[in-house]
Amino acid sequence: MSAPRFVSPFRWEPLPYLVLVALLLLTGLIRPESGGWLVALLIAITLTAAWGVVGFVRERRMRNPDPMGDLTTLDGIEIVDASPVAAAVRAVVPVVDVHRHQPAIDLARLHGGASQHAILVPRARRWLSPKYRVGVQLVGGDRPRHAGFLGEAPDRRWRDALDELRVSRGAFVRVPAVIEGSGRPYRVDLDLSGLGAIPGGGDEASADERS
């Protein structure tokens, strides 16, 4: 089953506020003597405001990972190790958007060293973005820290298998990671060679990719 590419519109954070603004603008077009229409509009505004509050509370509720795909702890989640495949030349994949997460990467390097591991989190996304991506959480230190996302090509290659693990088992894959650089700006490289051994990540996934 293919992983969803976008969050449901009804779970997208800005939607209730956009609807609320539209309804408030609409109040300027309705005369006070309109009676029932004005009452209906006020009820709609109230319900939309309540929708926004519920969404805000739900977003702030402690979940692991949270709606953005950030992990707060590794306790209580299943980890599947994708051990690297032996090869003469090991292919690495750079993490994208690392420029947005330099402080977190700096802390991860401080607590866990340059060579550590990362957890791949499907259905992660940037704040207010409706598009799902595969998030990268460095876990070499005292707690997970968001380093960025997989690029378009590896995301397309692995998102279905990673999403299936999360949905069916509540499991997340751990891969080797290296933080490159002695100071900011850091780069983060991942070894994804072991992902072919995870359920849905082998020959069948490769065949789907070629088709």
Give per-residue pLDDT as tens, 31-80: 766 677 777 888 888 888 887 777 766 665 567 788 788 898 998 899 99
CA–CA separation, 67 vs 171, rounded Å? 16
Per-residue CA distances from 12 to 17, 19, 25, 62, 64 (Å):
10, 12, 21, 18, 18
Model confidence at 119, pLDDT cuts 50, 70, 90, reads very high
Model confidence at 202, pLDDT cuts 50, 70, 90, reads low
Other CB atoms closer than 10 Å to residue 123's CB: what's the count? 20
168 or 88, which is more confident: 168
What contacts 124, CB < 8 A, 6 or more positions away?
A: 65, 68, 69, 70, 132, 133, 134, 135, 149
Residue 151 has pLDDT above 90, yes or no: yes
Portion of the chain with pLDDT greater than 70, in percent: 85
What contacts 49, CB < 8 A, 6 or more positions away?
A: 16, 20
Q: Which amino acid type is present at position 61?
A: R
Mean pLDDT of 126-147: 91
pLDDT at 174: 96
- pTM, 2 dp: 0.78
